[in-house]
Amino acid sequence: MYIKKIIFFSFFFVLCYLLFAHSALAAFRYPIPELGNCRDNKECLLYCQIPDYAPACWSLQRYGPANKVLGETTIDSEQIAREKGIIFPVAELGNCNSIVKCREFCREAANREICTDFSVKKKLVKTRLKQISSTVLTAARKELGCNNTTSCHNYCRQPENKDLCQSFGEKHALIKKKASIPVISGTVTLGPGGCKTERECYEYCRSHTKECPFFPKNTSSFSSILK
């Protein structure tokens, strides 16, 4: 990541993109095919209020969009690359010589930090800027065990770290406190298919992949759930 006139890229707000539906939607270019081709944030939120569409919205909210490094959007990818001054092969991304190869490179978990840095550097993903005190950054290193904004962002992308990062954000007033889980007909509902736990949601989306278009196909993403 980079520093520009003491304005720091806020990994906490990127975390919000991944934890909350309305923030996650903001990272997309519209329309979003997987969400009924909704044309803006408000329209997508209305779409996601319909129970039948809960799986698709939940998988986006929980795991975020995949393969975003070179922006899979309705706009021609080659055009985006030209506009952002990306010249192939891209040395920072393992000398990938095409958009397809770069996306393949960035699907690998080991390359996540490199690709995140590249995406922000080239402004391929939308970000929010927030001035963060050195005290908060120091606390993040101590409480989350990450060394910089990139590593903290990637740490908080992991499903098993969601609660810890949520608590950290609330503690330091970086995000609003998470709303209480609604009770419907006496049943607590967290995700698609009425799943109440992370494992139940995993099992549901694993067998309903078409309903959960953003659900990761790599089972290593769920190592903590499957133990």
Q: So where are the chain's domains?
A: 27-72, 74-126, 134-172
Question: Please, what sign has the CA dihedral across residues 174, 201, 158, 22?
Answer: negative
The most distant pair of C-alpha atoms in the chain lies apart, rounded to whole Å, by: 56
pTM: 0.36
Contact (CB, 8 A) for 215 and 205: yes
Tens digit of pLDDT at every position of the chain (227 positions): 444 332 333 333 333 333 333 444 444 567 777 788 888 777 777 777 777 777 777 777 665 555 444 444 434 567 778 888 888 899 999 999 888 888 888 878 788 778 877 877 787 765 544 445 677 778 888 899 887 776 777 787 777 888 888 888 888 877 766 544 443 344 444 566 777 666 777 778 878 877 777 666 554 444 444 44
- Written as one string, the DSSP assignment of 88-135 is SSBGGGTTB-SHHHHHHHHHSGGGHHHHHHHHHHTT-S---EE---HH
Can you say whether the dihedral through the CA atoms of 194, 196, 200, 205 is positive or negative? positive
Spatial contact of 33 and 18, defined as CB atoms under 8 Å apart? no
Chain Cα centroid distance, residue 16: 8
